């Protein structure tokens, strides 16, 4: 097995200006020599061989703002793979960036992992301007909403002017189309001032198809194995210590230089790593150590479709020790229940209320059962894992953007049903995630968009349309041709949120409901207690999420009807009578409110719905 890191540490990769000049440090194992090309003086300077595979020097007179490239003897001239900024795009020269910033968040320690409500956003479509500075101006609205941490979709620079971010090329450089590095620092600083944490989505499972020069510096970057994106990243073979070391320094840099509150690791199920310790576990430990030097904590969450308990079990139990995991079974069951999706992976999910309740009780549904979609067993038993470690959603960038038309859930169900699903999500004990605009049922789709060079762009468009051939509505070529072209600028522009609609009805009512339920999740509020939560089906259309014992002080029950009308018996009778904490049929949330009937008699507490809806009762 490879060692954890190369013989010499990869700390300090890139260009760091200081009083005596700028310190350059480059990892290029096997290179006979590395040269620095400075644009300002048109000079070529050989970097000293600091250790095998590492080249470094402090160059006098080089300041922040100067541009440069790196030459590997025998391989070519490239941008710096640890560049902090690419002002002319990923193929252009790198710019020396001063990491210093006038931080005013000295008292910030980071969000409590037990009190997370995540808001995922894409900087380019979150505002009309698509910039860090414009996103910063919207942060007060997120505080008012009641979320506690913002999760930014990948920011590493990419080819072209628009992208989801998963085509990462310059891994250390914030995408220039969103602003400069200092603009990102200002965003994080303001978030902290307002009491919001900031997570960054990072991608270690592949590189983008254009402009990623890292393999020129690390010849062992790819393995012989395959991944969904072609060659897999080499994490456990010969030379992999350099790849792992590069990723560890990458993770540390974002947390150290931007004071991020942690990372979301993309698709860890595609990281082929048989090392004694998985890369994700090393990354989590490393960024926590970096944050601790600034008297802060860091959170690391994974996306992993396998339902593996070891991802979030502590290292002392043989786990990776991560703080959380995207658990999509809840989304799939709910979507099947209220929107009827049944193709692809949805065929594994019944959408029945007993199965949804079981998912809430466990954290995920599949714990080793056969998956028809995968053709084999899926999942492990998560018994004993705290609910907060599971991240639930009813929408995220994948579940919206990977639909042919980028349609949001609120485009496929009516408002009463949407509000019912919202209460179910936010009353569950797991960590909720909202996707930007979800809080007001935004009408803008979130489509898949790219801006690649023409030939690559044509292949992306064709590949995107091929993905939907198995769906009946896209069985013929003519129907597939109507799927929005990822390369068209209109596809990107259609995906931008329209904030003006958030203040009009019915959108404002939907937002008020989100605020009301999120307020109940705050520390000390009724839905903050998660250790004694449970869920059960009351009938084929209704389920209950209960905290505490009914009738005892602080206990709550959320009764949620996902389909149709009818009455259900909750099981409590006698006194004290519960108070209604939230009802989706409040006129503040729906103008055509149809009150939910609540009758407490000698036999039971009966709740009657005229249509899909939810009520949260508390004692």
**Burial grade of 400 (CB within 10 A; 0-12, 13-18, 19 or more):** buried
Whole-angstrom distance, CA of residue 17 vs CA of residue 26: 15
Residue 285: alpha-carbon gap to chain centroid: 19
Among candidate residues 64, 95, 126, the one where a domain is terminated: 95
| Contact criterion met (CB below 8 Å) for 333 and 323 | no
| Contact criterion met (CB below 8 Å) for 562 and 337 | yes
Do 175 and 199 fall within a single domain? yes
The answer to whether position 588 is within a domain reads yes
Residue of 394, 390, 427, 425 whose CA lies nearest to 547: 427
Helix (H) or strand (E) holding 253: helix 240-258
Do 230 and 340 fall within a single domain? yes
Among candidate residues 95, 128, 144, the one where a domain is terminated: 95
Helix, strand, coil percentages, rounded to 5, for the chain? 30, 20, 50
Residue of 195, 215, 4, 213 whose CA lies nearest to 89: 213
**Burial grade of 608 (CB within 10 A; 0-12, 13-18, 19 or more):** middle
Whole-angstrom distance, CA of residue 196 vs CA of residue 549: 33
Sequence-distant (≥ 6) Cβ neighbours of residue 211 within 8 angstroms: 89, 90, 91, 158, 159, 169, 170
How many structural domains compose the chain? Answer: 3
| Contact criterion met (CB below 8 Å) for 197 and 263 | no
The answer to whether position 6 is within a domain reads no
Token pair for 456? 């690559």
Do 499 and 535 fall within a single domain? no
Sequence-distant (≥ 6) Cβ neighbours of residue 29 within 8 angstroms: 6, 52, 53, 218, 219, 220, 239, 242
| Contact criterion met (CB below 8 Å) for 371 and 377 | yes
Using one digit for the tens of pLDDT, what is the confidence trace for 499-518? 999 999 999 999 999 999 99
Do 32 and 132 fall within a single domain? no
Do 122 and 177 fall within a single domain? yes
Using one digit for the tens of pLDDT, what is the confidence trace for 419-435? 999 999 999 999 999 99
Residue of 214, 589, 298, 223 whose CA lies nearest to 419: 589
The answer to whether position 146 is within a domain reads yes
Which residues are catalytic, by number? 266, 303
Do 68 and 201 fall within a single domain? no
Sequence-distant (≥ 6) Cβ neighbours of residue 148 within 8 angstroms: 111, 112, 115, 116, 117, 118, 195, 196, 197
Using one digit for the tens of pLDDT, what is the confidence trace for 444-456? 999 999 999 999 9
Q: What is the CA radius of gyration of the chain?
A: 25
Whole-angstrom distance, CA of residue 597 vs CA of residue 39: 74
- Start-to-end CA span in the chain (Å): 57
Do 491 and 374 fall within a single domain? yes
Give me the CATH number covering residue 86.
2.60.40.10
The boundaries of the domain holding residue 464 are 113-518
Do 472 and 415 fall within a single domain? yes
Do 374 and 493 fall within a single domain? yes
| Contact criterion met (CB below 8 Å) for 346 and 331 | no
Do 476 and 583 fall within a single domain? no
pLDDT at site 5: 55
The answer to whether position 523 is within a domain reads no
pLDDT at site 2: 45
Mean pLDDT by 10 residues, the chain (619 residues): 59 95 98 96 94 96 97 97 98 97 95 94 98 98 98 98 97 98 98 98 97 97 89 96 97 98 98 96 97 96 98 95 98 98 95 98 98 96 97 98 96 98 98 98 98 96 89 83 95 98 97 98 92 95 95 94 96 81 98 94 89 97
Whole-angstrom distance, CA of residue 151 vs CA of residue 303: 13
Among candidate residues 473, 490, 518, the one where a domain is terminated: 518
109 backbone dihedrals φ, ψ, rounded to 5°? -110, -10
Helices in 259-352 by DSSP H: which ranges? 279-293, 329-339
Do 200 and 305 fall within a single domain? yes
pLDDT at site 1: 44
**Average pLDDT for the chain:** 95
Give me the CATH number covering residue 556.
2.60.40.1180
The answer to whether position 442 is within a domain reads yes
Do 64 and 118 fall within a single domain? no
pLDDT at site 260: 98
The answer to whether position 1 is within a domain reads no
Using one digit for the tens of pLDDT, what is the confidence trace for 546-585? 999 888 899 999 999 999 999 999 987 777 889 999 999 9
pLDDT at site 3: 45
Whole-angstrom distance, CA of residue 440 vs CA of residue 427: 18
Neighbours of 285 (CB within 10 A): 17
**Burial grade of 456 (CB within 10 A; 0-12, 13-18, 19 or more):** middle
The answer to whether position 3 is within a domain reads no
| Contact criterion met (CB below 8 Å) for 354 and 331 | no
The answer to whether position 400 is within a domain reads yes
Give me the CATH number covering residue 367.
3.20.20.80
């Amino acid at each position: 097995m490879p060692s954890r890191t190369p013989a010499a540490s990869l700390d300090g990769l890139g260009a760091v200006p200081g009083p005596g000049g700028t310190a350059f440090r480059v990892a290029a194992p096997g290179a006979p020599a590395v040269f620095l090309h400075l644009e300002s003086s048109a000079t070529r300077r050989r970097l000293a061989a600091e250790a095998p595979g590492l080249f470094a020097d402090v160059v006098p007179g080089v300041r922040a703002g100067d541009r440069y490239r790196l030459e590997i003897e025998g391989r070519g001239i490239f941008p710096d793979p640890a560049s902090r900024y690419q002002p002319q795009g990923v193929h252009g020269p790198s710019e020396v960036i001063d990491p210093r910033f006038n931080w005013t968040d000295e008292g910030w320690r980071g969000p409590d992992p037990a009190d997370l409500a995540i808001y995922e956003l894409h900087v380019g479509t979150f505002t009309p301007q698509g910039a860090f500075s414009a996103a910063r101006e919207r942060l007060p609205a997120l505080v008012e909403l009641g979320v506690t941490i913002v999760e930014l979709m990948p920011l590493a620079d990419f080819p072209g002017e628009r992208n989801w971010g998963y085509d990462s090329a310059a891994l250390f450089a914030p995408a220039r189309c969103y602003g400069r590095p200092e603009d990102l620092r200002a965003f994080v600083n303001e978030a902290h001032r307002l009491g919001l944490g900031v997570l960054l989505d990072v991608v270690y499972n592949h590189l983008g198809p254009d402009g990623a020069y890292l393999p020129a510096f690390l010849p062992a970057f790819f393995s012989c194995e395959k991944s969904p994106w072609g060659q897999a990243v080499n994490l456990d073979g010969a030379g992999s210590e350099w790849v792992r070391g590069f990723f560890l320094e990458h993770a540390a840099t974002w947390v150290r230089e931007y004071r991020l509150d942690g990372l979301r690791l993309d698709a860890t199920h595609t990281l082929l790593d048989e090392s004694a310790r998985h890369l994700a576990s090393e990354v989590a430990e490393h960024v926590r150590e970096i944050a601790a030097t600034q008297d802060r904590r860091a959170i690391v969450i994974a996306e992993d479709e396998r339902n593996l308990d070891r991802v979030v079990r502590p290292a002392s139990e043989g786990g990776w020790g991560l703080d959380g995991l995207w658990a999509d079974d809840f989304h799939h069951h709910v979507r099947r229940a209220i929107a009827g999706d049944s193709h692809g992976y949805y065929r594994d999910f019944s959408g029945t209320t007993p199965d949804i309740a079981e998912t809430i009780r466990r954290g995920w549904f599949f714990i080793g059962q056969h998956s028809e979609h995968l053709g084999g067993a899926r999942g492990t038993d998560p018994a004993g894992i705290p609910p907060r470690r599971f991240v639930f959603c009813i929408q995220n960038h994948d579940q919206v953007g990977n639909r042919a038309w980028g349609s949001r859930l609120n485009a496929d169900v009516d408002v009463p049903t949407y509000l019912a699903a919202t209460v179910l999500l936010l009353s569950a004990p797991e960590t909720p995630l909202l996707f930007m605009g979800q809080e007001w049922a935004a009408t803008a789709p979130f489509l898949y968009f790219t801006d690649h060079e023409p030939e690559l762009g044509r292949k992306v468009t064709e590949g995107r349309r091929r993905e939907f051939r198995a769906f009946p509505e896209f069985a013929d070529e003519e129907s597939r041709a109507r799927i929005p072209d990822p390369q068209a600028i209109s596809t990107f522009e259609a995906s931008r949120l329209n904030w003006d609609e958030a203040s009009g009805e019915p959108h404002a009512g939907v937002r008020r409901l989100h605020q009301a339920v999120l307020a109940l999740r705050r520390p000390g509020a009724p839905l903050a207690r998660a250790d004694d939560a449970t869920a059960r089906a009351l009938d084929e259309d209704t389920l209950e999420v209960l905290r505490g014992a009914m009738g005892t002080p602080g206990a709550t029950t959320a009764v949620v009807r996902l389909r149709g009308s009818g009455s259900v018996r909750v099981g409590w009778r006698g006194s004290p009578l519960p108070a209604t904490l939230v009802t989706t049929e409040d006129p503040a949330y729906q103008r055509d409110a149809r009150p939910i009937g609540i009758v407490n008699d000698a036999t039971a507490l009966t709740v009657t719905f005229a249509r899909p809806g939810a009520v949260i009762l508390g004692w």
